[in-house]
């Protein structure tokens, strides 16, 4: 041994393992074999019952004698083995104390080395990120770069590769945004809600949503124009002050009254059947005054669209002079408690004849249902 270090080649265990057997081992084995051969196949009957019990007792007695000798001898031989095992463990325990202390110090020293390496490399990392025109929050520093076994050139190479990937991803997102804006100009629709989906959806899905939204707008405009034309038709006023239903009703009334007057010889038909003065009057004069003073028919209640959940999620409103998704106004009014947004929401909500009011009322109910569902799910998950 040199320098107090144990040489494995010289570390050998000295032992004299004893041979353990009965003094008359061969004779004992023959006796046991003879007993087995003799009593194997013995059948217990009424006549052999007593003899069978005696045989079994004799065999059990032999078993106990042999086992006792075995146990005593094994314990005797095992004692030096246990002593050797305990003394060996004591030696390794002493060495382990020293080894563990050195291991703790080595780990602390390596932690300091990694911290120093990280400081140097992170400065280089920031430099590379800045050279690519990126921000630190756009590029992730990989903790494995601080491993002591990783070479500095490898760290630089991988950092450049990461920055290249970020730039490529930004380029792709920019191209997608430009495609969305171009499609919005082509369809003449607002693009902000669709720009918010960039990075979350594929371009094909976003463009499809935009086309569907445009179709919905066209349908809404067509439905609104159809309702307007129907309303104008039903409320058309003629030059004499009467609308179409009044003209029809007036003609039928005069025809009936004139026929009754002729039938009962009340007059010659030159006076107005509705007149109480009895003086002949031209039929057109009093009817004109009556038509002018007649109350107009009540306006029919407008028929509003029933929105689907998908339509409400994509619905656009004009707020603050700009087109925006209705969710943004809802958030300002009910999440951020913005007074202007709350006033705008309340005024439109209370307008029964407004298509915007119809949308807001449906959207408010829809959001309450969604928030109730979330609250229920949160309660069930507890």
Residue 225 falls inside a structural domain: no
- Beta pairing class for 316-319 and 322-325: antiparallel
Residues 70 and 102 in one domain: yes
pLDDT tens track for 200-217 = 888 899 999 999 988 888
CB 283 within 8 A of CB 272: yes
Residues 89 and 109 in one domain: yes
Q: Would the pLDDT of 173 be above 60?
A: yes
pLDDT tens track for 260-308 = 555 555 555 455 555 555 555 555 444 544 545 555 666 666 778 889 9
Orientation of helix 355-381 relative to helix 339-349, angle to 10°: 120
CA angle 143, 149, 152 (to 5 degrees): 75
> In b/e form, how buried is each residue of 47-75, taking b as 16+ CB within 10 angstroms?
eeeeeeeebeeeeeeeeeeeeeeeeeeee
**pTM score, whole prediction:** 0.41
| 3-class DSSP assignment, residue 14 | coil
C-alpha span between 53 and 66 (Å, rounded): 20
Residue 323 falls inside a structural domain: yes
| Number of folded domains that form the chain | 3
CB 363 within 8 A of CB 354: no
pLDDT tens track for 221-265 = 888 888 888 888 777 655 455 555 555 555 556 565 665 555 555
Residue 311 falls inside a structural domain: yes
Residue 228 falls inside a structural domain: no
Last residue of a domain, one of 113, 138, 154: 113
pLDDT tens track for 55-98 = 999 999 999 999 998 999 899 888 888 998 999 999 999 989 99
pLDDT tens track for 323-370 = 899 988 998 899 888 889 999 999 999 988 888 999 999 999 988 888
Residue 239: predicted pLDDT: 45
Residue 262: predicted pLDDT: 58
Residue 59: predicted pLDDT: 93
Round the average pLDDT of the chain to a whole number and report it.
Answer: 83
Pick the closest to residue 257 from 273, 269, 270, 268 (CA basis): 273
Residue 7 falls inside a structural domain: no
Pick the closest to residue 166 from 133, 144, 189, 194 (CA basis): 133
Residue 276 falls inside a structural domain: yes
pLDDT tens track for 4-51 = 677 777 777 777 777 888 888 899 899 999 999 999 988 999 999 999
Last residue of a domain, one of 113, 128, 155: 113
Residue 351 falls inside a structural domain: yes
Show the domain range for 37: 25-113
Last residue of a domain, one of 90, 113, 136: 113
Residue 114: predicted pLDDT: 94
Q: What is the DSSP letter of 324?
A: E
């Amino acid at each position: 041994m040199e320098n107090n270090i144990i040489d494995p080649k010289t570390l050998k265990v000295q032992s004299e393992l004893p041979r353990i057997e009965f003094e008359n081992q061969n004779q004992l084995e023959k006796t046991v074999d003879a007993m087995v051969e003799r009593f194997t196949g013995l059948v217990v009957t009424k006549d052999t019952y007593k003899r069978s019990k005696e045989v079994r007792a004799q065999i059990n007695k032999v078993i106990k004698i042999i086992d006792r000798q075995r146990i005593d001898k094994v314990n005797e031989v095992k004692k030096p083995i246990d002593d050797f095992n305990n003394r060996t463990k004591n030696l390794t325990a002493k060495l382990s104390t020293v080894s563990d202390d050195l291991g703790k110090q080595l780990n602390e020293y390596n932690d300091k080395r990694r911290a120093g390496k990280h400081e140097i490399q992170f400065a280089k990392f920031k430099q590379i990120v800045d050279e690519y025109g990126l921000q630190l929050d756009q590029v992730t520093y990989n903790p494995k770069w601080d491993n002591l076994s990783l070479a500095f050139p490898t760290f630089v190479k991988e950092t450049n590769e990461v920055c290249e990937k970020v730039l490529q991803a930004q380029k792709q997102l920019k191209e997608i945004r430009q495609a969305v804006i171009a499609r919005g100009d082509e369809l003449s629709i607002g693009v902000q809600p669709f720009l918010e989906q960039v990075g979350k959806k594929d371009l094909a899905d976003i463009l499809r949503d935009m086309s569907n939204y445009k179709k919905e707008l066209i349908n809404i405009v067509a439905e609104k124009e159809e309702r307007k034309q129907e309303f104008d038709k039903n409320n058309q006023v003629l030059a004499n002050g009467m609308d179409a239903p009044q003209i029809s009703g007036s003609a039928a009334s005069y025809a009936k009254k004139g026929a009754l007057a002729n039938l009962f010889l009340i007059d010659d038909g030159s006076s107005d059947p509705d007149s109480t003065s009895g003086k002949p009057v031209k039929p057109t004069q009093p009817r004109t005054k009556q038509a002018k003073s007649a109350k107009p028919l009540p306006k029919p209640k407008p028929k509003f669209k029933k929105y689907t959940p998908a339509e409400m999620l994509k619905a656009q409103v004009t707020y603050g002079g700009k087109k925006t998704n209705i969710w943004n106004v809802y958030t300002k009014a009910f999440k951020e408690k913005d007074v202007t947004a709350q006033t705008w929401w309340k005024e439109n909500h209370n307008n029964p004849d407004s298509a915007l009011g119809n949308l807001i009322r449906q959207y408010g109910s829809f959001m309450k249902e969604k928030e109730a569902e979330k609250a229920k799910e949160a309660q069930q998950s507890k």
